[in-house]
A and B are shown apart, each in its own frame.
Chain A
Amino acid sequence: MADAPDDSELQLRKFQKELSAGTVSLALLAVLGSAAEPMYGYQIAKRLESLDGVLSGKQSALYPVLRNLSAAGLLDSHVEPSVAGPPRRYYRITEAGRTTLQHWTAAWRATRDSVDAVLEGERQ
C-alpha cells in the first residue's frame, strides 16, 4: 500500500539519474570552459550546487566524471599541495575539450528544442 508513492518516487529518481548521466559531463565542461583559471573538485561541485534540477544531485558523483573527462583528454589536470588537506587536483579545459564543448552544446540545444516542442504539443 505504501509502495505506490515510493514507486513513482523511484521512477522519478531513475529518470533524474539518467538525465544527469547525460548532462553532467556537459555541465562540467561548460563550467571549466568559462572559468578563468583551473578549478579543483570542491569548487566545481559548489558552482553546480547553486543550480536547480538534476545537476544539484550528490556532489560525489562529479569526481568520477571529472576523472573520466580528464582520461579522455578533454580536461588537463595537475596536483597542487593544499593547507586544508590532501593535495588538490586542479582541472582546466583543453583545446579538444573546447571543440567537444561546442559540439555538445549544439547537440544539447537541438535536443532541448525538440523535447520542448514535443512537450508544447502535449499541452495543447
Chain B
Amino acid sequence: MNSSLMNTNRPPQSIPEYLEQLRVALTGADPALVQDALYDAEEYLRSELAEQPGRSEAEVIASVASSYGAPDEVADIYRDTEVKVQTALRPPAPKPRTSLVGRFFGVAADPRTYASMFYMVLSLATGIFYFTWVVTGLSVSLSLVVVLIGIPLLILFFGSVRLLSLVEGRLVEVMLGERMPRRPLYSARGRNWLQRIGDMFTDVRTWSTLFYLLLMLPLGIVYFTINVTLLSLSLSMIAAPLLVWTGMATAGVSNYGWSVLNWSNDSGLSTSFPLIATPLLLVTGVLTLFASLHLFRGIGRMHGGIAKHLLVKTAQYS
C-alpha cells in the first residue's frame, strides 16, 4: 500500500484523474487491455459515487484506493491477469467458417485482408525510401571513412536504421497483425558508449535489418504489381458484363486488340467478349476477386513472418 502511494505523484482527486493515472500506469500494455481496465474502473468508480451521494468525489476516490485499488495496484493486477488469461482476453477471432464456400468468401469480411492490401500498395513507397536511405547512407559514410568523418556518419546511419526498423515494425503490427516490438531495444545496459557502438556492428540484427530494408524495394515492386494487376483485372471482369447489360458498353468489339474492358473515342466503352460469354465473365471475375483477396491476406501473413524474422531476434523477444 505504502509503496503504491509512493509511486504516484499524488492521490487522484477526481474520476478523470484516476483514469488518467491508471492509463499512465498501464503504458505499454496491450491497447485492448488498457481499454478494458479503464472501462471496468470507470464503472466501479461511478457506481461507488452513486452509492454514496453525501460524499465528495475526492473522498469517494480516496476510499476506493483500499477497496478497488490505487491506479498502480490496479495496473499490476491487470498485467498479471493478462499473462494468465491472455488467450481468453483477446477480442473474439472471426468464427472459423466450416463450409468450403464460407471459407472462400469469408475472406472479404476479414479486416486483415484489406489491411494487407493497403500494406502491399504502401510497400512500394516505403521500399523505395528504405532502399535509397540504406544505399545512400552506406555509400556516403563508407567512402568518407578514409577521411575519418565517415565514422561518426556511419554510427549515425546505423542509429537511423534502428529507428527505421522500429517504424517498419509498427507498420507491420498495425497492418499485418504480427506482434512487433513497441520500443527500441537497449540490449547494452551497463556498457560504455564505445562498447555500444561496437555492439551495433556485431549485432546480427543490424545486418538483418539492413538486408530487410534493401529487400523491401524488390518486394514492394512485386507486391504493388500483384495488387494492382489482380484488382484491375478482376474488377473489370466484373464491371464489363454489368456495363453491357445496362447498355453502357457494347460487347464483341475488338478493334484495338483484345481487351476485357476498353474505352475509345469512336466506340465508347466496350469489351471484346461476345454477349453470350458475359455471364461466365462475371462469375470468373467474382471468383478471381475473392481468390486475389486470399492471396493478399496470405502475402500479408507471409510478409509479417519475414519482418519478424529479420527485424526481431526471437531470443530477445521471449
Q: Counting CB contacts under 8 A, is B41 at the interface?
A: yes
Chain A interface, DSSP helix/strand/loop, else mixed: helix
B50 touches A60 (CB 8 A): no
A61 touches B46 (CB 8 A): no
Among residues 47 to 75 in chain B, which have CB atoms less than 8 Å away from a CB atom of chain A?
A: 47-50, 67-69, 73-74
Q: Which bucket holds chain A's interface residue count? A: 20 to 34
Q: Counting CB contacts under 8 A, is B78 at the interface?
A: yes
B47 touches A84 (CB 8 A): yes
Which residue in chain A gives the minimum CB-CB distance to B67?
A59
Among residues 151 to 176 in chain B, which have CB atoms less than 8 Å away from a CB atom of chain A?
A: none
Q: Counting CB contacts under 8 A, is A65 at the interface?
A: yes
Number of interface residues of B (CB under 8 A): 28
Using known A-B contacts A60-B68, A86-B39, determine if residue A65 contacts B44 with beta carbons closer than 8 Å: no
B41 touches A86 (CB 8 A): no
Q: Counting CB contacts under 8 A, is A95 at the interface?
A: no
Using known A-B contacts A42-B48, A67-B89, A68-B88, determine if residue A60 contacts B69 with beta carbons closer than 8 Å: yes
Which residue in chain B gives the minimum CB-CB distance to A42?
B47
Total A-B contacts with CB atoms under 8 angstroms apart: 82
Q: Which residues of B contact A98 (CB under 8 A)?
A: none
Q: Counting CB contacts under 8 A, is B40 at the interface?
A: yes
B77 touches A42 (CB 8 A): no
**CB contact between A61 and one of B39, B41, B49, B81 (< 8 Å): that residue:** B81
B49 touches A64 (CB 8 A): no
Which residue in chain B gives the minimum CB-CB distance to A61?
B77
Give residues in A with beta carbon < 8 Å to B.
21, 40-42, 45, 49, 58-61, 63-65, 67-68, 71-72, 82-86, 88-89
Q: Which 4 A-B pairs have the closest CB atoms?
A: A85-B46, A42-B47, A84-B50, A63-B40
